[in-house]
Amino acid sequence: MEFNRNQYFFTGLVILLLGIQFRMVESYSLTPEAAKIVQKVGQDSASVAASAPPALAGSKSLSPPDWLGWCLMSVGSVLILHSLAMKKPGG
């Protein structure tokens, strides 16, 4: 399946808004269930890597790195600009 102009635009808009949210929020407080899931994922990746990330070990809040918001905003902006440069659907 090939993406058309509208799908590129919508995907870029969602990624752009997600990046803005990551830039505006300093940390996310997790529920006990979500903390267990994040800790389990950290333990699973620890079996592949040397150790679990220290930010995830026993923590109930998650702080995304500063660069993540900028990265998502950049990718979203490029997708939106790419969609505007494409041919209109149906014509």
Strands 61-62 vs 28-29: parallel, antiparallel or unpaired? antiparallel
57 and 69 co-located in one domain: no
pTM for this structure? Answer: 0.70
Query: Residue 50 — left, alpha, or beta (φ > 0 → left; ψ -120 to 50 → alpha)?
Result: alpha
Q: How many residues does the chain have?
A: 91
pLDDT digits (tens, 9 = 90+) for 3-27: 899 999 999 999 999 999 999 999 9
pLDDT digits (tens, 9 = 90+) for 32-73: 888 888 888 877 765 544 444 555 555 588 888 989 999 999
68 and 81 co-located in one domain: yes
Q: Give the whole-number percent of the chain exceeding pLDDT 70.
A: 81
52 and 37 co-located in one domain: yes
pLDDT at 68: 95
Total structural domains within the chain: 2
Domain limits for position 44: 29-62
